[in-house]
Chain A
Amino acid sequence: MRLSETNKAWLLLLPAFLFLLLPLYGLLSALWSSLTVNGAFSLSVYQQLMERDAFWGSLFYSLRIAIIATLLSLGFGLVFTRTFTHYLNKTSGKLAAWIPMLFPHFVWGYLVLLLFQQSGFISYMAFQIGIIESREAFPILTNDKNGFGMIITYMGKEIPFVILMLLPIYAQQNSQYHDLVRTLGGNRWHRFKDAEWPWVYPVLLETGVILFSFIFSAYEIPYLLGATFPEMISILTYDWFYAGDWSERPLAFAAMIFTSVIIGIIAWIGFSLMNRKRWLLTKGSR
């Protein structure tokens, strides 16, 4: 029996589906737990959730942190890759750029804490050199309300990832496009926009979706570097989930379903934008 192309594709997807069974089961049982009250179908948990100011506060806070951290990582990653493509192509360059990827987020978070906290290394140096008069004068950069510590940690970890994703494109880019734009009188901006952006854009979008989803819902960095208030949605959910009498568990499930839906929507928008782009590219027009 010969397999049709579609069947082959499904067969190839089988391992992925098997692997996805576990998280999928988790997601469904969370959905189930948030939609049933005493065994009967009810939306009351979601209603309760909507009425909680704490939920909206941390949802928007998490969105803000995730968006800022993602955009900064993408931006710096792009500039870095463009500027240093030549060095990054060497093994030593790659190693230097990718070393942060060896550490888990938690370790990187601790490093940021040791460097940036008020009694940390940087404040110590600043005090010794005489830039600040006392160590208390050092600005609060970790566990701060603006999430500086978290954003810095994520940037440190994610910029190398962005480089990893972008480097193949820059390593293999066709310099003739640059020449073409130049011949036609384009300046630097035109060269970037016409000779690089069409190839870079889909990858940036894809990477951005991955980073956003991760930062939006991760727990360890907010636990280590977040402020007591406002808190990231993952911290709030964790507290609800483990609240002593388990009565707030349905709320935790509902909040997580909510974040999953947001991630889903963003991923969907991202992929549909990307597909359109790809489709236009194959048609040879933009």
Chain B
Amino acid sequence: MKKSGLVGFIVFIFLLSACSQGQSQQSNPNDLSWDEIKQQADGTTVNIHMWGGDEGINQYMDEWVAPRLKEQYNITLERVPMDTQNILQKLQSEKQAGKKDGTIDIVWVNGENFKNAKENGLLYGPFRDQLPNFNDYYDQDSLAFQYDFGTPTEGYEAPWGKVQFVFQYDSNKISNPPKSFDELQSWINENPGKFTYPNPDDFSGNAFLRQLLYATVDDPKEIIEEPFSNEYATKKAEPMWEYLRTIKPDLWRNGEHYPASLTELDRLYSQGDVWMTMGYNEARAEHLIEQGVFPESTRSFVMEPGSLGNTHFLAIPFNSSNKSGAMAAINFLLSPDAQYKKLEPTYWGDNTPISVDKLPEEQQKKFESLDRGETVLSTERLENSFLPEADSGYVEWIKENWKDEIIRNQ
């Protein structure tokens, strides 16, 4: 009996290791024409792993995209909600374990996550330039697609959307929102306890500081165009730390505690504890009002010298077992129809990276006449204030230094 237990144990171990075997049968889509890729994708299932924290986005994928993808390409789309960091972690573990037949076909990435994934060889590619919709409707030379937070994309990801960083305020409580960071400073001084920003470990809190960094140097170009180095950042960031130290005593809770996430800041805003919130999506207030989280009187604003914007992308993991299906699905997500629906406030309200002037006239009109909602600033206002992201090195650098400069030893 003892022996059989041992045998069972060994069998169990073999079973465990057997899971990691198996070969991918598909040929590399790099050598195939688009028609062959479409053929290969026909009747398959594509697993997209993406951040699932926004109901609007989830509904867009499940209710609008999935049925049409089935209809047009005969592809079944399975959406798995997961934080991007965890997706990359999973891929990294699979790579270490030598697992060739992965379960993830598409990931939604940008910025430092993309940099990590690309540098650690977690992505398949280049594939972007094989997508007909990308070639037809997108500006091939746009710097916004060539670089992702300073990392060259080199065709390893395809642009899916773009967002801009905006602030939200309650128009019942504030009649004239600040127009610059200087005005914000005096506003905070006059209204102590009514403003705070998320901890820079949080994505949005970090973006707030990057935006402030742009505002406290003489010209944002100094940050955008210079390559990142610790010395340069230390030198340039001093006025930013100074600014933060100045406003600190007048922040919510005297600047001793900061919301750990944007959700927490939104909660404070919805309870009226603070009067402003912010976020990396110019249309976010629309569905937050609809869900009853934000007061109806919420409006958004941007400040001088501009509003941070970035493009977000779709990529394919190195071990996806359905690369052709993934490419077909991404091509569909980049199509004018899918982009238009994504732009509408109904589901998501996410801005499109598509070049509207490359579209057929009828669709151009459709895009141009779309009303994105009352809380969203005009396209013109957004475009005029657009500032691209600098090197993703700043994200990490700010995370590392903020606590030392602002919280500890103060």
Contacts and interface: CB of A to CB of B under 8 A. Distances in A.
B265 to A, nearest CB: 13
Contacts of A226: 260
A243 B399 contact: yes
A64 B336 CA distance: 58
B85 A242 contact: yes
Interface range for B: 20 to 34
B205 to A, nearest CB: 10
A145 B410 CA distance: 14
Interface stretch (B1-9, B57-65, B71-79, B210-218): B1-9
B191 to A, nearest CB: 13
Contact of A7 (B2, B9, B268, B407): B2
Given A14-B9, A136-B193, A229 B403 contact: yes
A145 B395 contact: no
B271 interface: yes
Contacts of A118: 273
Interface stretch (B45-53, B251-259, B299-307, B347-355): B251-259
B116 interface: yes
A18 interface: yes
B201 A229 contact: no
Given A118-B273, A243-B396, A244-B392, A228 B12 contact: no
Interface string B100-134: 00000000000010011000100000000000000
A119 B112 contact: no
Q: Which of A11, A224, A228, A245 has the most CB of B within 10 A?
A: A228
A227 to B, nearest CB: 5
Contact of A228 (B2, B9, B116, B407): B407
Contact of B253 (A18, A140, A223, A229): A140
B235 interface: no
B298 interface: no
Nearest to B402: A228
A234 interface: no
A244 B403 contact: no
A16 B388 CA distance: 54
A11 B273 contact: no
A243 B273 CA distance: 30
A18 B258 CA distance: 43
A223 B116 contact: no
Contact of A229 (B2, B85, B193, B408): B408
B273 A119 contact: yes
Contact of B9 (A18, A54, A227): A18
B199 interface: yes
A84 B67 CA distance: 60
A245 B1 contact: no
B1 A18 contact: no
Nearest to A222: B260
Interface in A104-162: 118-119, 136, 140, 143-145
A119 B257 contact: no
Contacts of A224: 260
B93 to A, nearest CB: 10
A102 interface: no
Given A18-B9, A18-B12, A239-B201, A143 B396 contact: no
Contacts of A229: 403, 407-408
A227 B408 CA distance: 12
Nearest to B400: A243
Nearest to A243: B396
Interface string A160-198: 000000000000000000000000000000000000000
Nearest to B3: A1
A136 B400 CA distance: 31
Contacts of B395: 244
A14 B273 contact: no
A3 interface: yes
Interface in B181-210: 193, 199, 201
Given A244-B396, A245-B112, 9 more contacts: A14-B5, A119-B268, A119-B273, A140-B253, A140-B257, A223-B260, A229-B407, A242-B85, A244-B112
The 7 closest A-B pairs by CB, nearest first: A244-B112, A244-B396, A229-B407, A228-B258, A143-B257, A242-B85, A228-B257
Interface of A: 1, 3, 7, 11, 14, 18, 54, 118-119, 136, 140, 143-145, 223-224, 226-229, 239, 242-246
15 contacts: A1-B2, A7-B2, A54-B408, A136-B193, A140-B257, A143-B257, A144-B257, A224-B260, A228-B199, A228-B260, A239-B201, A242-B85, A243-B400, A244-B112, A246-B116
Interface of B: 1-2, 5, 9, 12, 85, 112, 115-116, 120, 193, 199, 201, 253, 256-258, 260, 268, 271-273, 392, 395-396, 399-400, 403, 407-408
